[in-house]
Structure 1
Amino acid sequence: MRAAIGDEATGRAVNVVRLIEKAPESLRGQIVSAANSPLVQFEIGTVPVVDHASHDAKGATEARVRALLDEDFSREVRAELHEIDSSALPFTYLEPQMAEQHREMMRGQLLAVEMQLSIALTGGDWLNVSTRFERPPFQWPQFATLSFGLSAGFILLALFWYLLARVTGPLRLLADAAEKLGPEQCGPVLPTAGPREVKELIQTFNRMQDRIVRLVAERTRMLAAMGHDLRSPLTAMRVRSEMVEDDETRDSLIASIVEMQHMVEETLSFARGLADAEPRQSVDMETFLESLRESMLEGFALTQGGRAEVQLRPNAMRRALRNVIENAQRYGNEAEVSFAVEADTAIIQVRDRGPGIPEAELERVFDPFMRLEASRSRDTGGHGLGLSITRSILRGHGGDIVLSNRASGGLCANLTLPLEA
């Protein structure tokens, strides 16, 4: 505001100078009288009001005057700016009504600025310019303040209600779903809505619910399969135990008992969920895989893709990886293991060069006691629990295993693990 008023006064002074220079000397008084205003006063005198060289900030006022005048204007220009007490406003010569209006508008709360200009005219006279101005104070009428407060209050209340509904609505659905969740039933997948933290909470609940459902389904299938598959060896043991004196029968009985023991051991290990039996530890995957390779008789080719700390159960994960790697060595001639990190997931790939698995059977091989007769011999294979145990362990860690056939031949097992538990 001060700059605008000062520029306006400077520009008016330059215009008055141009008029006076071009008008007859007899009209100078009329020009000055017409240019006067309540806040800017002009007069022509033989003595300059500013009796010293300009000392305004960096000569800005003088420079502006010369810039507005003709380029050939070389006479002296003096300018002075200084603060005065606002009680000096307005000019003493103003009419009382005008002075009162000015005081009411300015409120007299801040220091005012007085600018004086003295511009030399032809003939030795000076044009003296005086102006006083103050930045108008901040004004906010009571009605506007009340209206703004009420409007802001209603807007904030509506915004708070909307944000509260965005948070409490999804949380209420989540609480209801958690209350209904149980081993016997599973509710629908909850829609992700609300703020980012609430969405993450709902997504975590959906993943937890899905894991519980898969866990119950796996245990149910396992128990049904165990009850079915144990009938034959138990029946054979009962029948042949009556003829224990015969060598052949004794050998057959021992073989059946051994088979039953192996089957029961693997089945119960799967049923108890060995992956949940030990606490999690922070393990460096590079060191972990190197240790696993050294502990296996045949070993395997290992390609590391970076270091990463993973929260896992070492014994359970060692068993899961051993199952997959031994399958690759047994049925695919060799195992090629690679490790890499993508985003927040550790990825372990186990590849072989065997015959692969039919596409329709890639998912079924994870069922307990599932065996593929075409590529899995009973003479060298187990009881069909290795991949089931592996998937159970990985899913217990929040990861998974996916099988796929390689374009160049063989099978690729893709094991994923979250870097954080």
Structure 2
Amino acid sequence: MRRLWPQSTGAQLLVMLLLALGASQGLSLLVFSDERDRAVRAALGYEAAGRAANVAQLLDEAPEELRPQIVLAANSPLVRFWLDDEPAVDHAGHDSVGISDRLRSALNDPDRDILVEIHDRTDDLPAVEDVPHGMRQMHSAMLAERTGPLELAMSIRLESGEWLNVRSMFHRPVGQWLFGDIAALLIAAVLITLVAVLTSVRIVRPLARLADAADRAGKGEEVDALPETGPREVRDTVRAFNRMQDRIRRFVSGRTRMLAALGHDLRSPLTAMRLRLELIEEGEDRDRLEALVEEMQTMVEATLAFARGEAVTEETVTLDLRELLQSLAGETLDASMADDGDAAAVMARVRPVSLKRALRNLIDNAARYGGGAEVGLKRDGDAAVISISDNGPGLPEDQLEAVFEPFRRLEASRSRDTGGSGLGLAIARTILRAHGGDVILRNRETGGLIASVELPL
């Protein structure tokens, strides 16, 4: 059932409105069908009752020898009259439209004995040979069409004590109003569809723009302010998003300026220390101080790069990740691309310089400390999954997440003597998360580490 239900807001709105229209129309038909049926019965019954009242008055006033001729003359293909000592209607209580009261009013006799029955004869129509000759044509049509005929029977006591019995059968005109209701329903459905489409456009289009802008902002792209259109709630949401984007820009801009000033302030003393070292005579002390200054310079540059999270003004471009990884693997010693038989391009919108740095950090890390790096790439739905495997000793399970913390180093394998500053993995994760992705480490069953990178496409 959930598969059949539409997923978009506009389609859901349209389906719900149409369902509500169908339910309301169906309820209306159920509520008013009985009233309409009663109106139809009354209209057709009143016509037959008027004829019966006229015949009863004639019989009350006519001589006894003329009564058979009056009854015979009153018969028609639609209404049959006959006289009897007993009423043809043997009980009261089925006069749902007030025909008996209308008859008494026409006869000007409120105490006259009158019995009336109205029955739906759809399921128990008598055979044609049991119907009076004049009514057989209409009766045959009812049998053929199954139109839901109604039978009206009346018994009126005459002043002579005899009973005037009347029986009539007529079609229920169901088709006369059904077409109009269907036409009204279709017109209403068309109008509701137009309203739903216009409403969904006003709601869905701004929301679609907002979703696209939020997705691009989550990947680190520059997003212009969105137009504030649509209903009030949608405008408020877009306005809040624009304000959030503006605050983030101001924050990043302020941090960038601060880091630029900080970088200048940190480099100046280091440059002065290098100049001072040139004045010291060569020897063991000078070499030790030079190494210390170089280490400080490296740490300062790495710290500033990590804090910046790479240049925020870098343009986003679309490139082939497979081609990028092949290039990085070719530039690194002891690194190669996995031969998975898939040479298809995997296109993604990225900031190329920062992404190269993140992936290079991971590949260099595997090649330097794991005895070699094998790089793989596959597509998983709307994401690209990059794997960088090594053959090293691996890491303790409780350190797989901790190594992403800034300046976190495992002294046994990543001492400062090997050139590590403890920021490579932290910088890589910062860059990848700025692209809307992430990186995790896990130990391989056959030994070594595997870094799994996921990037949205």
Q: Give the TM-score of the pair, scaled to structure 1.
A: 0.49
Q: Give the TM-score of the pair, scaled to structure 2.
A: 0.45
